[in-house]
Structure 1
Amino acid sequence: MDWRMTLRQSATELLIPTPGRGLHEITREVTRWVAGQGMNTGLLTLFCRHTSASLTVQENAAAEVRDDIVRWLDRVAPEDAAYAHDDEGPDDMPAHLKSVLTGVSLSVPVIDGRPALGTWQGIYLCEHRRAPHRRRITLHLLGD
């Protein structure tokens, strides 16, 4: 019996428009892409290609959770602090700090052709700037 497994891989980039600051759920877009790859089991890596936005897995049932997270991040990295870096306005450096705190990459197992998220978990793009942006999220799936 041959136990060698042939792994496949696939990659894409999602372009996500954001209306401004907040946690914006992208679970549906990610799940749709994963399902289209025809892989049953694997590991999905997501990478945010920006320094003022980030990614997180968080509760997707109560909007208050997302609002509380945004308010907490605003307290931890306020706009009115004396930052040396303010090239793009008062929300520039706080956005970089929030990105450091929340991270720009995620690894999510894929089981039965779907991201193996918990019942109340969703994948979120965290927009840390006030203005709308178009954010690029790279997805890479390795599996079979």
Structure 2
Amino acid sequence: MRQASTELTLHTPGPGLHEFTREAAQWVAEQGMDSGLLTVFCRHTSASLCIQENAAREVRADVLRWLDRLAPENAAYAHDDEGPDDMPAHLKSILTGVSLSIPLIGGRLALGTWQGLYLCEHRRIAHRRHLVLHLLGA
């Protein structure tokens, strides 16, 4: 059994689902493992991760609108230290989660045909987000 880890930094221009499948798959391929498990962990409380369709852009837009309805900015939250989008960002992060597990089979991520890995940016301003990738396999 072998292990490898790295940190991936993504620059986000603002809210959205920002795909990083290619970067993760490239790093995994460089490790030379045939089977195992990739864990991706987001090191933030106002951004999160998801696996979602990567073909139809409308899916990502619909997901963002749905999250906005569940955690609106105008809900009079007590926590607003960093602005009106701060607390809704924390709630959206709870809903979507901060870690993913993806099997590695035959040296490739076992994602479905239309699946992609996304960083969900919940804040309005640009950020630099850090993701930890950990691969355990053989």
TM-score category by the smaller chain? over 0.9
Partner SS state of residue 43, structure 1: strand
Deviation digits for residues 3-27 of structure 1, max 9, x if unmatched?
xxxx000000000001110000000
Q: Return the alpha-carbon distance in structure 1 between the equivalents of residues 12 and 24 of structure 2.
A: 16
Q: Return the alpha-carbon distance in structure 2 between the equivalents of residues 99 and 114 of structure 1.
A: 28
Q: Return the alpha-carbon distance in structure 1 between the equivalents of residues 82 and 104 of structure 2.
A: 38
Q: Return the alpha-carbon distance in structure 1 between the equivalents of residues 94 and 3 of structure 2.
A: 28
Any stretches of 5+ residues in structure 2 without a counterpart?
A: none
Q: Return the alpha-carbon distance in structure 2 between the equivalents of residues 135 and 112 of structure 1.
A: 30
Matched, 1:82 2:76: yes
Amino acid aligned to 1:116: A
The root-mean-square deviation of aligned C-alpha atoms, in Å, is 0.4
Matched, 1:141 2:129: no
| 1:64-79 pair list within 5 angstroms | 64-79=58-73
* TM-superposed deviation, 1:114: 1.2
| 1:125-136 pair list within 5 angstroms | 125-136=119-130
The structure with the larger Rg is 1
Deviation digits for residues 118-143 of structure 1, max 9, x if unmatched?
00000000000010100000000000
Amino acid aligned to 1:8: R
Deviation digits for residues 45-100 of structure 1, max 9, x if unmatched?
00000000000000000000000000000010000111000000000000000000
Amino acid aligned to 1:95: A
- % of aligned pairs identical? 75
Amino acid aligned to 2:75: A
Matched, 1:35 2:29: yes
* Residue equivalent to 1:60: 54
* Residue equivalent to 1:105: 99
Q: Calculate the TM-score normalised by the size of structure 2.
A: 0.99
Amino acid aligned to 2:71: A
**Which consecutive segments of 4 or more residues in structure 1 shift more than 4 A?**
none
Q: Return the alpha-carbon distance in structure 2 between the equivalents of residues 114 and 89 of structure 1.
A: 41
Aligned residues: 138
Q: Return the alpha-carbon distance in structure 1 between the equivalents of residues 41 and 109 of structure 2.
A: 15
Matched, 1:16 2:18: no
Any stretches of 5+ residues in structure 1 without a counterpart?
A: 1-6
